[in-house]
Structure formats: structure tokens, C-alpha cells
Structure 1
């Protein structure tokens, strides 16, 4: 499995979030500042809003999983999936060899 690269670098994300914070006073709401900034960098307003929310989680302003925690959980879930697959292979191999051993002993 190949890792997908993000279409926007962390620097661009930071700059976009800084733009929202800087221009929030010039707009009627944070959402209008987000939409304006998103149009300038070429992403959707919803994407930029999600970046803002995740940044707040990462800096313990909002409750929720930080980026590091989310990555750790993904890695652990991937490891669990791989271990379950390995266990299934071993279970099938064990059953196969047990049957082969029984066949060997049942022949005259």
C-alpha cells in the first residue's frame, strides 16, 4: 500500500490558517474569512475549516484526538489487521498439517 501525499504542504496549510486569523476581523464571520482564504489558496472552505479545527485539537484548545494520536491509532489498527491475517494463515496451516498427520497414521 502506498502512502498518499497531501495535495497541500504543511506550510501552505499554516499560511492559510494564518490568513483566516488575520482577516477574520475584516469579514462578518469566521466562515466568510475561511471561504475567502480558501479561494485564494485553491482549496474548499470545508477543507480549510477542518484544518482549523484539527489545529485547535492539536494545541489542546478543542477536545478530540490530536494528529499524533490519530496516526498512532491508524498504525495500531493496521498492525492488528496484519496480526489477524497472520493468525488466520497459521490456523489454516495448522489444520492442514494436522489432517495430513491423521491421514498418515490412518493408512495401513
Structure 2
């Protein structure tokens, strides 16, 4: 199993790579070959990385079915907010239980 890379590429590089693949599709024997050439030319790790960028660009452009980048970002934000609310709720429940126990104690 491969290790997940945390390397981030600039958005301009991704856009340029997608455009290069589109331009090279006609000159190459396959789309995969075009992606490999673009990855080599731009110094991107693998052709698979370029393939993912091309597929996401197709989804964002409405050419291919799937979750757009904007939808992914909204979902990511909602999941983050949901996790934060769950943590806050757990803290409030713990505090409520603590204070309820304090009230049930006989005073001295």
C-alpha cells in the first residue's frame, strides 16, 4: 500500500496540466500517454495525479457525472461544523451532569 502524499500543487499548475492534456490528446496514442507526458513535462509525481485533475475538471465542467469541487468543499465544511457541534454538545452534557450531581448532594 502506498503512502499518502501531502504534497500540494498550485491551482495554476493543475489548470495548466489539464489544458496540456486536452491539447496533447490528439497527438498521443492514448489519453493515458498524454497524461504521462504532461506529468513528466511539469514534474508532477505521477500520471495518476494528472488523471485525477483531468477527471475533476471534467466533472466541474459538466462533461462527466460526479461531485464538483464546490460541492466537495461545502460537504467538507459541513462535516467540520458537525464535528464541532458534536464536541460542544458532549461538553454541555458533561457539564449538565456535573452540576446536576452537585445539586443532588446534601449541603453541609
Normalising by structure 2, we get a TM-score of 0.88
SS in 2 for 1:13: helix
Offset at 1:16?
Answer: 1.1
Q: Which runs of structure 2 are paired with 1:1-40 in the superposition (5 Å)?
A: 7-40=8-41
* Ranges in structure 1 where 5+ consecutive residues have no aligned partner: none
The number of residues matched between the two structures is: 102
Measured against aligned partners, the alpha-carbon deviations of 1:69-99 in whole angstroms (never above 9, x if no partner) come to 0000000000000000000000000000000
From the CA coordinates, give the structure whose radius of gyration is larger: 1
Aligned to 1:67: 69
Measured in 2, the distance between the counterparts of 1:50 and 1:100 equals 57
What CA RMSD, in Å, does the superposition of the two structures yield over aligned residues? 1.5
Normalising by structure 1, we get a TM-score of 0.88
